Amino acid sequence: MAESVGFYRALGFFETFGDSSSAFVTLESGSCFVNLWLVGEEEISPRWWGRVIFHVDDVDEFYKRAIAAGLSPTAEPKDAPWGERFFPISDPSGHDLSFAKRIRD
């Protein structure tokens, strides 16, 4: 849990419930919230893939901030055919995140 909370702190989130030693913690940044819940392997039911997308004002600056914090995005920012500029990153538990901004409608 401590590693995951540290990851989200480095991205600008702060705890609103619990802390890095809790089994459940809520982190906030702007109008976005992330809930982390520490469970045992036997408690994890069907595994699935998903991605959480956070919209930011400046993707390139946010990318630089992640790098400066010692994080390792999985790719550099790029313009996508669906009209967003984004970069992907995974949290310490392997959850896929993207930080994006609409660049056209």
Kindly report, residue by residue over 25-63, the tens digit of the pLDDT: 999 998 888 888 887 766 565 555 668 889 999 999 999
Per-residue pLDDT at 88: 96
Per-residue pLDDT at 42: 65
Q: Mind giving me the DSSP string for 5-68?
A: HHHHHHTT-EEEE--TTSSEEEEEETTEEEEEE---GGG--S----EEEEE-S-HHHHHHHHHH
pTM of the model: 0.74
Domains and CATH numbers, the chain: 1-39 (no CATH), 51-105 (3.30.720.110)
Residue 24: is its pLDDT beyond 90? no
| Residues above pLDDT 90, as percent of the chain | 60
